[in-house]
A and B are shown apart, each in its own frame.
Chain A
Amino acid sequence: MLLILAGLGLLVLGAIASLMAARSPRRATLLGVGGTIAGCACALVPVVRVLLGHAPESLRLPWSVPFGVFALGLDGLSGFFLLPILALSALAALYGSEYLGAFRGRVVPARAWPFFALLVAAMALVVLARNGVLFLVAWEIMSLAAYFLVVLEDETPAVRSAGWTYLVATHLGTAFLIVMFVVLGHEAGSLDFERFGAALPLAAPLAGLVFVLAMIGFGTKAGFMPLHVWLPEAHPAAPSHVSAVMSGVMIKLGIYGLLRTLTFLGPPPAWWGWTLVAVGLTSGVLGVLFALAQHDLKRLLAYCSVENIGIIALGIGGGLLGVHHGSAALAVLGFAGALLHVVNHALFKGLLFLGAGAVVHATGTREMDQLGGLLKRMPWTGSLFVVGAAAICGLPPLNGFASEFLVFLGAYQGVLHPAAAVAGPALAVLAGLALIGGLAAACFAKVIGVVFLGEARSGHVAQAHDPGTAMTLPMVVLASGCVLVGLAPVLLVGRMGGALEPLTRLPAVAIELALAPALLPLQWITLAAAVLLALVGTLSIWRRRRLAGRPVREALTWDCGYARPTPRMQYTGSSFVRPLTRLFGGFLRTRTTRVAPVGPFPGPAALATATPDVFRDALFRPAFRMASGTLAKLRWLQHGRVQLYVLYILLTLVVLLVWKLR
């Protein structure tokens, strides 16, 4: 615990030092980045120790806040979330030290780094907190620090509006969490987490209420559809290393909160599982569909995060159904798949956002249809991005496959279950995962094809080149992580026991027993895929060898006899996915504006497509408009006259006094 505290201390110290050094951008960056990396490294030691099987640690200090105790705990579940938080944050900090250099003159490092270090410290504290007040305080620090990072480029109106959306969403989510903790605290008589567990079992309607509040409150942060609306706004607006941390680990804290709440609530009824499966299907399928239709690289990745959160929700939903119906295999594999996917998503989504950042850094645009042919100009970034894309599509032998495979296997076990209440949702999970996997592959085929392959579509690409070591190294580390976890998932799955026990309510032996039959085929498939890849690699090296001595000439591909081909004649992102977006047009509601060519000698023609978020336009906008219309009737209360404001206070005071002394 001491090392964890030291790590948190280093993070906060780094934040303060970076703020103090505001005058010198170099020193502010150095202190902020150094503090973050040192803090993360320091705190990683006990985390790894706990994951390796050391006893959980805890700490309790008195705290002068009502109902608050400075109670920290590091158990298997916390450790499993802390690992990606600390590792990815340290890498992102290193990356950001170079990335933010390009913003010189527009973004002051002393504004960026203190909030970054604070964000990391707050995320770690959220996972460690064992008291409701402490948890909420850490949660709010995290949300606000992230807000200030999102609006770093606040001279752009789009960034300000994105920050605003994020701020409203996160506060609405927190409101639900406050109610949830009040309900739990009222039942348990204390806001300590250990007392929540002791107050079991809660009456069924009350437990249901807490579950719904947690789903909304934590779901807003995690990005469950339709609460995801802030993700596609905030992720593109933030600098890329911040997007990587937000998408890679911050939204996972919503998942952590949900899982932690589930451990308070006793045996889950079946409808919790159904809810999560339904939410997972919606988020997964719609998330990837909207990702398909995007033109903005980072916005696409943001929607893709919604999809992956959907996969995690599918795993949790399957796990809950397994717990309810006593199917150990479904319970263990569902939760194990979800947990593994949390770490995996941090690895590959972090990698992809950092890669996208390198592209933005080099070309100055996020519009995919302005790019093209980057693999030749940015070989490192391009090939690392391809690794991340293959991992996120769930292709063996990379890590995305491992976690999705666990969820798949769990769902197969569920389908074999005699009760239709398990088999039905399990079948839905299977079908949904298959559909999501296919669509994700199409989505990333589009990204790779449009951004990295082909010819440059605009002048933005002309000067593009790979970034420096500080930006490349984190990507290399993350890509190696993807490969490593893919080849040896047991490295993580074998360390999950401490996290799975409270979730599945099974003893350690039963968990081992349920995991073992899943890991064996996983290893075989991964091995086969690795061998296949190695074969392809050998063949391509052999081919290159053979060609080395001979003259190689580049020529145009056959162009139908057209005399003047231009790069603009390539498939664009939207034309590539047109068959799919048309198929799902009912959900996507893509808007097309076009000027069609007319006559035998047509003039200029144009085509533009846009896919705005359906939920934002059809659900939240009308709701907020109605709210602001209704609340405008209270505007007369706020008229700007200070005297009358004081009068309000006076009247309240008098009324309270009279009411209390009646």
Chain B
Amino acid sequence: MERLGDALLLLVLLTDLALLVTDRLSGSIRLVALQGVLLGLAPLTLAHGASLHLAAIVAGTIAIKAVVLPRILLWAIREAEVRHERQPSIGHLPSLLLGLAVTGIAFLVAARLPALPGNSLPLLIPVALSTLMIGFLLLTSRRKALSQVLGYLVLENGIYLFGLTLADRLPLLVEMGVLLDVFVGALIMGLVVFQIQRELETLDSRELSQLTD
């Protein structure tokens, strides 16, 4: 199971990096959906035997992260008629290099973190950290509000991976709460994105800088 788990985590890392160089919004959304599936499967590789708790987490995660949220976002871009992330603040190649750099940092930092007892996946913490940071990177480097929603989701995925280290001890209710939180957050953001497009005829969040006091 451990090998499978590591493979899953590496795939998560690859989707992170792929997101940095994708500029079709629908493509990015599908990548996030794929990441959701991978994350949904991850608890299976960590668990010691099947349980109802586990099944609920897996089903819930996949349903929300891989099905519901991408659907909302796809609906938003279809309604708002945006397809591409044009002119990101940082070009594809530099952002890929930056992504690799933060991944490196994440691995370095993770090596110095105190080891968690009972964590059988050595890649879990570094991948969680790099997913988190790449989420931040997406948030900062993209201009379209919708890409920023995706950045936020990636960031949340990183936090979810961290949570997995506590999966055995975390009560179901807490996880459901987190999932619900993300779900509502993304839902609201999707609607806001749609509204921004309708009001301003653009999804460029730089236009929102007038909102300072």
Chain A residues close to B by CB (< 8 Å): 638-644, 646-647, 649-650, 653-654, 657-658, 661
**A647: chain B residues within 8 A (beta carbon):** 136, 140
**B206: chain A residues within 8 A (beta carbon):** 641
> Which of B143, B148, B211 touches A640 (beta carbons < 8 Å)?
B211
Q: Quick check: B209 and A649 within 8 Å, CB to CB?
A: no
In the complex, chain B residues 166-213 whose Cβ is within 8 Å of any chain A Cβ: 205-206, 208-213
Q: Quick check: B109 and A658 within 8 Å, CB to CB?
A: yes
CA distance A658 to B113 in the complex (A): 11
B141 interfacial contact with A, CB 8 Å = yes
> Which of A646, A650, A661 touches B109 (beta carbons < 8 Å)?
A661
CA distance A642 to B89 in the complex (A): 13
Q: Quick check: B208 and A661 within 8 Å, CB to CB?
A: no
Most-contacted residue by chain B among A639, A642, A647, A653 (CB, 10 A): A642
Q: Quick check: B109 and A640 within 8 Å, CB to CB?
A: no
B3 interfacial contact with A, CB 8 Å = no
> Which of A640, A654, A657, A658 touches B209 (beta carbons < 8 Å)?
A640
Q: List 12 A-B contacts (CB under 8 A).
A: A638-B213, A639-B209, A639-B212, A640-B212, A642-B208, A643-B89, A643-B143, A646-B140, A646-B151, A649-B136, A650-B133, A653-B136
**A658: chain B residues within 8 A (beta carbon):** 109
Nearest opposing residue in chain B for A648, CB measure: B140
CA distance A649 to B89 in the complex (A): 18
Taking the closest CB of chain A, its distance from the CB of B145, in whole angstroms, is 9
- If A643-B141, A650-B133, A650-B136 touch, whether A661 touches B113 (CB-CB below 8 Å) is yes
- If A640-B211, A641-B209 touch, whether A661 touches B112 (CB-CB below 8 Å) is yes
**A639: chain B residues within 8 A (beta carbon):** 209, 212
**B89: chain A residues within 8 A (beta carbon):** 643
**A646: chain B residues within 8 A (beta carbon):** 136, 139-140, 151
Taking the closest CB of chain B, its distance from the CB of A637, in whole angstroms, is 10
**A661: chain B residues within 8 A (beta carbon):** 109, 112-113
Q: Quick check: A642 and B109 within 8 Å, CB to CB?
A: no
- If A642-B208, A643-B139 are given as contacts, then 12 extra A-B residue pairs at C-beta distance below 8 Å, sorted by A number, are A638-B213, A640-B208, A640-B209, A640-B211, A643-B89, A643-B143, A646-B140, A650-B133, A650-B136, A650-B140, A654-B105, A657-B109
- If A657-B109, A658-B109, A661-B112 touch, whether A642 touches B148 (CB-CB below 8 Å) is yes
Nearest opposing residue in chain B for A641, CB measure: B209
Q: Mark B75-98, 1 if CB is under 8 A from A, else 0.
A: 000000000000001000000000
**B143: chain A residues within 8 A (beta carbon):** 643
CA distance A644 to B140 in the complex (A): 6
Taking the closest CB of chain B, its distance from the CB of A410, in whole angstroms, is 51
CA distance A654 to B104 in the complex (A): 13
**B137: chain A residues within 8 A (beta carbon):** 650
B65 interfacial contact with A, CB 8 Å = no
Taking the closest CB of chain A, its distance from the CB of B89, in whole angstroms, is 7
**A641: chain B residues within 8 A (beta carbon):** 205-206, 209
- If A646-B136, A650-B140 touch, whether A638 touches B109 (CB-CB below 8 Å) is no
Taking the closest CB of chain A, its distance from the CB of B158, in whole angstroms, is 11
CA distance A638 to B213 in the complex (A): 9
> Which of A638, A643, A654, A657 touches B212 (beta carbons < 8 Å)?
A638
Number of B residues, CB within 8 Å of A: 23
- If A649-B136, A654-B105 touch, whether A642 touches B113 (CB-CB below 8 Å) is no
Taking the closest CB of chain B, its distance from the CB of A576, in whole angstroms, is 45
Nearest opposing residue in chain A for B209, CB measure: A640
**B112: chain A residues within 8 A (beta carbon):** 661
**B213: chain A residues within 8 A (beta carbon):** 638
Taking the closest CB of chain B, its distance from the CB of A636, in whole angstroms, is 11
Taking the closest CB of chain A, its distance from the CB of B71, in whole angstroms, is 25
Nearest opposing residue in chain B for A653, CB measure: B136
Nearest opposing residue in chain A for B145, CB measure: A642
CA distance A607 to B163 in the complex (A): 74
- If A657-B109, A661-B113 touch, whether A640 touches B140 (CB-CB below 8 Å) is no
Taking the closest CB of chain A, its distance from the CB of B103, in whole angstroms, is 13
Q: Mark B128-161, 1 if CB is under 8 A from A, else 0.
A: 0000010011011111000010010000000000
Nearest opposing residue in chain A for B212, CB measure: A640
CA distance A654 to B142 in the complex (A): 20
Nearest opposing residue in chain A for B113, CB measure: A661
CA distance A654 to B139 in the complex (A): 15
**B151: chain A residues within 8 A (beta carbon):** 646
- If A658-B109, A661-B112, A661-B113 touch, whether A643 touches B209 (CB-CB below 8 Å) is no
Please give me the 6 A-B residue pairs with the lowest Cβ-Cβ distance, nearest first. A640-B209, A640-B212, A650-B136, A646-B139, A647-B140, A661-B112
Q: Quick check: A643 and B109 within 8 Å, CB to CB?
A: no
CA distance A643 to B85 in the complex (A): 15
Taking the closest CB of chain B, its distance from the CB of A647, in whole angstroms, is 4
CA distance A657 to B208 in the complex (A): 31
CA distance A34 to B133 in the complex (A): 54
Taking the closest CB of chain B, its distance from the CB of A277, in whole angstroms, is 43
Taking the closest CB of chain A, its distance from the CB of B96, in whole angstroms, is 17
**B211: chain A residues within 8 A (beta carbon):** 640
Q: Mark B95-123, 1 if CB is under 8 A from A, else 0.
A: 00000000001000100110000000000
CA distance A661 to B105 in the complex (A): 12
CA distance A661 to B114 in the complex (A): 10
CA distance A638 to B205 in the complex (A): 15
**B148: chain A residues within 8 A (beta carbon):** 642-643
Taking the closest CB of chain A, its distance from the CB of B18, in whole angstroms, is 21
CA distance A661 to B106 in the complex (A): 12
CA distance A641 to B208 in the complex (A): 7
Taking the closest CB of chain B, its distance from the CB of A650, in whole angstroms, is 4
Taking the closest CB of chain A, its distance from the CB of B25, in whole angstroms, is 17
Nearest opposing residue in chain A for B112, CB measure: A661
CA distance A638 to B211 in the complex (A): 10
Q: Quick check: A643 and B113 within 8 Å, CB to CB?
A: no
Taking the closest CB of chain A, its distance from the CB of B94, in whole angstroms, is 15
Nearest opposing residue in chain A for B105, CB measure: A654
Nearest opposing residue in chain B for A657, CB measure: B109
CA distance A642 to B207 in the complex (A): 10
**B210: chain A residues within 8 A (beta carbon):** 640
Nearest opposing residue in chain B for A662, CB measure: B112
Taking the closest CB of chain A, its distance from the CB of B195, in whole angstroms, is 16
Nearest opposing residue in chain B for A661, CB measure: B112
**B208: chain A residues within 8 A (beta carbon):** 640, 642
**A649: chain B residues within 8 A (beta carbon):** 136
CA distance A527 to B40 in the complex (A): 84
CA distance A644 to B141 in the complex (A): 9
Nearest opposing residue in chain A for B89, CB measure: A643
CA distance A83 to B148 in the complex (A): 55
CA distance A650 to B129 in the complex (A): 12
In the complex, chain B residues 2-27 whose Cβ is within 8 Å of any chain A Cβ: none
Taking the closest CB of chain B, its distance from the CB of A247, in whole angstroms, is 32
Q: Quick check: A643 and B142 within 8 Å, CB to CB?
A: yes
CA distance A118 to B151 in the complex (A): 40
